[in-house]
A and B are shown apart, each in its own frame.
Chain A
């Protein structure tokens, strides 16, 4: 099986994730879409490592996982707090931080 197909799959997943971030209002769904983009990137890294026959991409994938785990902790905590105060998880309603 050609490793380049994984890169195409990673691109498709990333696009779906980015689309989800841009169009959805539910904070949890947006969050899931972000996770999907991160994992698409991971997939691309790993595929590239396979194609190039080096370990660089795999190392990068580990870094991304660590960052993603940390991000989930902080992000979910923020979402839960916002939900508790406003009884809503819509990110469009949390738009106070502007001019």
Chain B
């Protein structure tokens, strides 16, 4: 007998089998719980912190008092000892004398004994009843036995509302999102998203985006004019960024490994070596050394092989059309080989458990220029012109949330003393407008 719905199902990324309704209900309960928690904790904080502070500043009535005693109240919690200044004051309201231990309305503790001591020092105890030292105090007109010695607004108090506010935002936002999705098919939801996107596209790029959906508009490629040809293509990943990533990885890895190396070496020096730790550390040290070598090599390639630039006669690329390229390589080096290619990669992003993974596959590579064995002089960059023909029947550039087709011009070379280097320059291959089913 077939079940009406499955209680659970296999899941990879956003694909899900099983009961959609049960999933939506669970999602709504989860967000509702968040919202409730945020509202309740926010209301409690408001009534225990904000309202008393507001009443002290606006409703409490000013009077005078004398300080009879003072002390530091000490408690202990997980953060260690906590301190709070306290004063025993005497004040009279309508010929009734009140005695109270007080300071401010919150009666909160802090971890600094010095601060509490400083506050104590600000108020002198009246030793001689015939010579009282008066201070202002503020009492609650609805219950005069409640009084404070100081009032004012503490801005930090509002910081505690960040936690319930974030709960309310996450819970409320999630709940609204779940309610909006409730009972709607995947297509209807996608149509609503599409409609919202199209409504927002009133900028200059909107026409292009609507005309060629999911094809990047490439404005960041055409915003830099070339000196000889129409546009200078931006580099895909700057060598400096690559260098920074390698540097960070190198510092992080070797920093952690060095702590254990110091412990291991210390053991050897003190005469009680831990051979287990020493042997265990060897592969980690090898990786650290490899990272240093790779960093030095990257540094040499980045600084030694000068910048590569590419200018193009027009952009975006259209199927079957020919474009002129100007390749320029600076530096002072002997180039064993330099190859310019038009490359297409597929890129897929997927979730596996809690990880987001990305996979790239090369699907097209066409060499458009090659030269071997030449010198590049300082201040005199190597320049070469070549023609690039956009493939007639290839897939156009495509970009969605999890899948992408990327076209790029790749300059790969080998320089004597510096090794291999490669630089990529993204381009957009746009589909031909109109009928293209042949």
To the question of whether A and B form a pair in one complex, the answer is no
Chain B positions within 8 Å of A, measured between CB atoms, are: none
